[in-house]
Amino acid sequence: MNIRHIEPFIDATVGVFREMFGLEPDFLNPYLLQRDDRNEWDISGIIGIGGDSKGVVVVSLSGELAQALTAQLLGGGVATDDDVVDAVGELVNIIAGNAKKGLEEYRLDISLPSIVRGPDHKIAWQQNVPIIGIPFKIPLGRFHLSIGLENIITG
Amino acid sequence: MKKSRNLFVRAAMNILTSGDVTLFELGQRSRVIFLNAVTIAGAVMISLFAVIGFLSGNVPLGLACAVAALIVSINFLSIRLFRRYMLGGIVDCLVIFIFYYYLVLSGGEAGSGVLWINTYPLITLFLLGSVAGSVVALTFGVAVAVAVFVPALNAAAFSPLYSARVIGTYFFIWLFSFIYEVVRKLTLSRLEDSNSRLAKTSDALQAEKKQTDDILSGVQEGIFLLNRDYCLGDVHSAYLSGIFEQEDLPGSSLLDLLRSHLPEQDLTATADFLEMLFGSTVNSELLREINPLSEIRCTYSGEGGLVRGKMLRFTFARINAPDSPYPVLGVVSDVTSEYELKQQLTVEERKHKQSMENLFRIIHVDPLMMREFISDTEAELEHANTLMKTEGVPGEEILATLGTSSHAIKGNALLLGLDEFASKVHAYEDSIKEIRTKGHSWRDLLALTVGLGDIRTDLEELNTLISRIEKFQLNTAARASGANSLLQLSLDKFIRKESERLELPVHLQFQSDEDALLSDEYRKLVKDVLVQLVRNSFAHGIEAAERRQAKGKNPEASISIRLENNDDELLIHYRDDGAGLDLAGIRRRAAQLPLLAERAAGLNEAELVRLIFMPGFSTAVNAGMEAGRGEGMALVRSRVQEAGGKLALKNNPGQYLEWTIRLPGTGSSAAAIA
Amino acid sequence: MTILVVDDSRIMRNIIKNTLTGNSRYAHAQYLESPDGREAQRIISSQKIDLLLLDWNMPMLNGLELVKKLRADPLYAKLPIIMITSESAKYSVIEAVKAGVNDYLIKPVSEKLLMEKLERLGF
């Protein structure tokens, strides 16, 4: 795993929060996520990556933050559960899609987003790939970006 | 044959042009040729008349002609010598005037002398020009008229009607010659005009072409035109050859030029894009946005088969001239350096020869020790990662932890001979050190996290390998020997290795009390600490064999370690019989540090000793893999303190250095081992 | 003017619609929505559409496939289509333009860019 393959995702995350919500996320210290780490988040949007590399990109949020961000996208009011699922899916889709710009030397395909919810929900990480966890902080709360990508081996 | 004819023509031209090579102007040149021709012909003819005169006994005629011939001959030479063409012309005209007049007056054969006069207007007009020539020719005409109309004056005694016809003919010839000369001059001058105009236009074109050439040869961009087959036009900037690293570009297809330098995917995109570029369905603005070559990495093979990457920026514009054979203008520039500035750091992928190396190592290493190494390393990684995961921990602290952890991992890896893994961790440690000196950014932490992930991936690979090997290996002996003997084994191995490498003979005396068995909890701690102490002995304490002999010591140094159980306290004695702490060296090093420089001279022994525990403090000049980073002693102290233990040091300069480490409670060691 | 907005995310469809109606020029257009390519295709064949704003990654029938199908039909060969997607790699953009989209916009949707692209298409 190369830092150059991680950065596009971080840039995309920052760009998306700036464009969609007018927010500048703060980075907290990155770390290695253990596959069996307890998950402290309420909702995760997951995009599978295929093609030259295999992996997943996950954006995890607390329920309140997901609710607040969705409401902002809706232009106010209270977001329904369906709205939140929709918004988190779109969020992770845009992050993964935009990150491809920085990884153009590879052909990567991104899946449709899927959503996992509930306290301590489980994410099926692939084996033998380090997962980089990057917590972000915005005024509304905290969210978390996790990236596990197989080494991209050029052909 | 042809050559001699050429020679003849050249000689004739030389004579007729008086050898004047500056005669380029057409009118002047023809005049000179005519002048010389007339002069030569005149000289020959008058000489002929002189001969005839003398032969016929007409001596005065012969003499007169001879003189005239002489004058004309001299004139020919003077024309050749002085190139005063007008003067030569005047002389010719005068001589011919007199000579012809003489012929008229003398009448000649049946009055035929008068016939010659009809050539006179041609001669004067050509030699003297239309105005002066006419004056002379008309003067001659009048003189001839007098001569033919006055019978007394000419020998032939023409009838007045005949005379009138002679004069009429003469004037007609003059008139037509005059008209011809005027027209000729006008034509010539017009020709000259248009010639000079052409010359001027050609100069301007030359100048313009030069400018274009200058631009194309000097511009730091590749400029080219493309035809409908995506082939380059004949004209392109010189820089383009450098960009494509190829000469003879005209006619080559752009796709071919890029083919072996682009990933297949980009090439396909480029082909699609060019198709759209030459089509008309996609508008220019969108085309500009989707240009796949707007910033593209091309690879070229350089010296020694190395692959060089170049960032190229292409822009394309459709040329708005319908039916142009080259409807697209392309500009390409090399933005590699620009791009490299943007690109801060690229992490080189480690080769995967590592797993092979590991495989061979492991076969010769006790799987139990390998397992121990892996679990120790995992624990180290976990220790560091836990700290990273904890929100609010300052980066400096994370870096310090990563530093000591990777140092410990590296030591253990070297112990087992996992050199590749160790050098990887060593490089990781180096980067931590570098980041610590220059101050860290968030990105640095990210890079270190990614690095940590790599180390863990390697470790998992190692683990898989060991599991595989364990299935084949049935080494029960090592398994039964327990943690303490394992410790002795690995330390012994480490010391042997270091001893060989540094050419310092060292002998290990290891003693472990029956009840001083190491618990799982301390197993790793004790080993880490002892490894660091051994390193320190090798780096700073143990002298070379000759030196030891000179001091009356045994040339083979000894390190003795004893583990002891003392009232539920684990006691570790470590002693090397080296030179002890180099207090003077520590003081010198302290004097170089900005924080300590002033106080260095006044530090007492205890204070100097304490300095060796300061993270980053080392007296070694070059940091090698074995010692000199200044992390070792700091690691020892922090580990011992973390475990709630105590550390004591006894320094006997020149004789020995002794460490005593106390750790609380040995734990239920026996149970843990069993 | 009838604009069909196709995106599997309802929120994204809303955002696009709100961005457009916020501009007086497009405030009075008629807006139709579809969450996937297949339904979009049904709508297009059943009524006249002036502009198609289309996502790429969608269930059932994705945007790119829809564009290919539409362009293959002479009836829709000239239908103005702007693809609005998170797919940002240049090969993706080329792929879409090759398939026949008139313009391409990368999410998140920037109002300024969207307006520019609409104007460029003459809306």
* Out of B53-57, B280-284, B463-467, C72-76, least confident range: B463-467
Q: What does the buried/exposed string (b/e) look like for C22-40 if buried means 16 or more CB atoms within 10 Å of the residue's CB?
A: eeeebeebebbbbbbbeeb
Residue B666: predicted pLDDT: 55
* Residues of chain A contacting residue C10, judged by C-beta atoms under 8 Å apart: 82-83, 86
Nearest to B265 among C91, C93, C98 (CB): C91
* Residues of chain C contacting residue A47, judged by C-beta atoms under 8 Å apart: none
Asked if B381's CB is within 8 angstroms of A132's CB, the reply is no
Query: Mean pLDDT over residues B556-561, rounded?
Result: 93
* Residues of chain B contacting residue A131, judged by C-beta atoms under 8 Å apart: 453
- Nearest chain C alpha carbon to A105: C89
Assigned token pair, B542: 């143990």
Other beta carbons within 10 Å of B394: 10
Does the pLDDT of residue C99 top 50, yes or no?
yes
Select the residue from B393, B449, B464, B467 to test the A interface by mutation, using most A Cβ atoms within 10 A. B449
Contact B543, B578 (CB under 8 A): yes
CA dihedral B538, B544, B547, B549 (to 10 degrees): 100
Asked if C12's CB is within 8 angstroms of A101's CB, the reply is no
The predicted-structure confidence for B351-375, as pLDDT tens digits, reads as follows 444 545 555 555 566 667 777 788 8
The predicted-structure confidence for B493-543, as pLDDT tens digits, reads as follows 788 888 888 889 999 998 888 777 777 678 778 888 898 899 889 888 889
Does the pLDDT of residue B669 top 60, yes or no?
no
A65 band by pLDDT with thresholds 50, 70 and 90: very high
Range among B235-239, B587-591, C39-43 with highest mean pLDDT value = C39-43
Asked if C91's CB is within 8 angstroms of B286's CB, the reply is no
Asked if B269's CB is within 8 angstroms of C91's CB, the reply is yes
- Secondary structure class of B460 (helix, strand, coil): helix
* Residues of chain A contacting residue C58, judged by C-beta atoms under 8 Å apart: 112
A97: left (phi over 0), alpha (psi -120 to 50) or beta: alpha
Asked if C90's CB is within 8 angstroms of B269's CB, the reply is yes
Asked if B273's CB is within 8 angstroms of C103's CB, the reply is no
Residue B282 contacts C, CB cutoff 8 Å = yes
Residue B361: predicted pLDDT: 57
Tell me the one-letter amino acid at B452: L
Residue A129: predicted pLDDT: 82
* Out of B52-56, B464-468, C8-12, C116-120, least confident range: B464-468
Asked if A83's CB is within 8 angstroms of C108's CB, the reply is no
pLDDT > 90: percent of chain B: 15
Does the pLDDT of residue B576 top 60, yes or no?
yes
Residue C78 contacts A, CB cutoff 8 Å = no
Contact B488, B512 (CB under 8 A): yes
- Secondary structure class of B346 (helix, strand, coil): coil
The CATH superfamily of B222-338 is PAS domain (3.30.450.20)
Q: Which residues between 579 and 638 in chain B have a beta carbon less than 8 angstroms from any beta carbon of chain C? A: none
Residue B21: predicted pLDDT: 75
Counting Cα atoms < 13 Å in the Cβ hemisphere of B352 gives 4
Q: Give alpha helix (H) positions in B473-617.
A: 476-480, 482-502, 520-536, 545-550, 583-592, 605-611
Write the DSSP assignment of B272-307 as a string of letters: HHHHHHHSSSS-HHHHHHH-TTSSEEEEEE-GGG-E
Assigned token pair, B635: 């690691």
Distance from the C62 Cα atom to the nearest Cα atom in chain B, whole angstroms: 21
Domain boundaries, chain A: 3-149
* Out of B219-228, B248-257, B664-673, C47-56, least confident range: B664-673
Size of interface A-C (CB pairs under 8 A): 65
The predicted-structure confidence for A7-50, as pLDDT tens digits, reads as follows 899 999 999 999 899 999 998 889 988 776 767 899 999 999 98
Of A116, A117, A118, A98, the closest CA to residue A108 belongs to A98
- Nearest chain B alpha carbon to C121: B283
Nearest to C97 among B265, B266, B282 (CB): B282
Length of chain C: 123
Does the pLDDT of residue B673 top 70, yes or no?
no
pLDDT > 70: percent of chain B: 88
Residue B478: predicted pLDDT: 42
Nearest to B453 among A1, A10, A29 (CB): A1
CB-neighbour burial class of residue B90 (10 A; exposed 0-12, middle 13-18, buried 19+): middle
Q: What is B353-479's CATH topology? A: Four Helix Bundle (Hemerythrin (Met), subunit A) (1.20.120)
Distance from the B670 Cα atom to the nearest Cα atom in chain A, whole angstroms: 31
Contact B273, B292 (CB under 8 A): yes
Distance from the C102 Cα atom to the nearest Cα atom in chain B, whole angstroms: 7
Phi/psi of residue A125, nearest 5 degrees: -80, 150
* Residues of chain B contacting residue C93, judged by C-beta atoms under 8 Å apart: 289-290
The predicted-structure confidence for A90-131, as pLDDT tens digits, reads as follows 999 999 999 998 888 888 889 999 999 987 788 888 777 889
Distance CA B223, CA B238 (A): 8
* Residues of chain A contacting residue C110, judged by C-beta atoms under 8 Å apart: 19
Assigned token pair, B647: 């550390």
Average pLDDT score, chain B: 82
Nearest to B450 among A28, A105, A132 (CB): A132
**Which residues lie across from A46 on neighbouring strands?**
A58, A114
Residue B671: predicted pLDDT: 34
Given a contact as 3+ CB pairs under 8 Å, which chains touch B?
A, C
Query: Mean pLDDT over residues B177-197, rounded?
Result: 85
Does the pLDDT of residue B571 top 70, yes or no?
yes
Contact B19, B80 (CB under 8 A): yes
Query: Mean pLDDT over residues B82-95, rounded?
Result: 88
Contact B96, B120 (CB under 8 A): yes
The CATH superfamily of B483-672 is Histidine kinase-like ATPase, C-terminal domain (3.30.565.10)
* Out of A54-68, B81-95, B653-667, least confident range: B653-667
Sign of CA dihedral B590, B595, B601, B603: negative
Residue A137: predicted pLDDT: 92
Residue A94: predicted pLDDT: 95
Nearest to A97 among C8, C18, C86 (CB): C86
- Nearest chain A alpha carbon to C112: A19
Domain count of chain C? 1
* Residues of chain A contacting residue C15, judged by C-beta atoms under 8 Å apart: 73
Write the DSSP assignment of B106-146 as a string of letters: H--GGGGGGGGGGGHHHHHHHHH-HHHHHHHHHHHHHHHHH
Distance CA B651, CA C38 (A): 84
Distance CA A12, CA A6 (A): 10
Contact B257, B249 (CB under 8 A): yes
* Out of B182-196, B253-267, B362-376, least confident range: B362-376
Residue B349: predicted pLDDT: 39
Distance CA B357, CA B361 (A): 6
Query: Mean pLDDT over residues B564-588, rounded?
Result: 87
CATH 3.30.450.20 domain span(s) along chain B:
222-338
Chain-centroid distance, C-alpha B616:
42
Asked if C94's CB is within 8 angstroms of B290's CB, the reply is yes
Query: Mean pLDDT over residues B289-308, rounded?
Result: 83
* Residues of chain B contacting residue A133, judged by C-beta atoms under 8 Å apart: 389
Residue B360: predicted pLDDT: 56
In terms of pLDDT, which residue wins out, B442 or B302? B442
* Out of A63-77, B190-204, B586-600, least confident range: B586-600
Other beta carbons within 10 Å of B164: 14
Does the pLDDT of residue B674 top 50, yes or no?
no
Residue A86 contacts C, CB cutoff 8 Å = yes
* Residues of chain A contacting residue B395, judged by C-beta atoms under 8 Å apart: 29
Asked if C86's CB is within 8 angstroms of A93's CB, the reply is yes
Asked if A27's CB is within 8 angstroms of B457's CB, the reply is no
Distance CA C5, CA C35 (A): 9
Parallel, antiparallel or unpaired: strands C2-6 and C51-54:
parallel
Domain housing C104: 2-120
Residue B348: predicted pLDDT: 38
Given a contact as 3+ CB pairs under 8 Å, which chains touch C?
A, B
Residue C29, domain CATH: 3.40.50.2300
Distance CA A85, CA A113 (A): 10
Residue C112 contacts A, CB cutoff 8 Å = no
Does the pLDDT of residue B476 top 70, yes or no?
no
Residue C9 contacts A, CB cutoff 8 Å = yes
Of C5, C75, B450, the closest CA to residue A6 belongs to B450
* Out of B84-93, B327-336, B630-639, C7-16, least confident range: B630-639
CA dihedral A14, A20, A24, A28 (to 10 degrees): -50
The predicted-structure confidence for B409-448, as pLDDT tens digits, reads as follows 988 888 877 888 888 899 999 899 888 888 888 888 899 9
Q: What is A3-149's CATH topology? A: Chemotaxis protein chec (3.40.1550)
Write the DSSP assignment of B612-654 as a string of letters: TTSTT----SS--SSS-SS-HHHHHHHHHHHTT-EEEEEEETT
Asked if A94's CB is within 8 angstroms of C91's CB, the reply is no
Of C111, C68, C84, C116, the closest CA to residue C7 belongs to C84
Contact A118, A42 (CB under 8 A): yes
B161 band by pLDDT with thresholds 50, 70 and 90: confident
Assigned token pair, A82: 């369906």
Asked if A28's CB is within 8 angstroms of B457's CB, the reply is no
Asked if A128's CB is within 8 angstroms of B457's CB, the reply is yes
Q: Which residues between 88 and 107 in chain C have a beta carbon less than 8 angstroms from any beta carbon of chain A? A: 88-92, 106-107
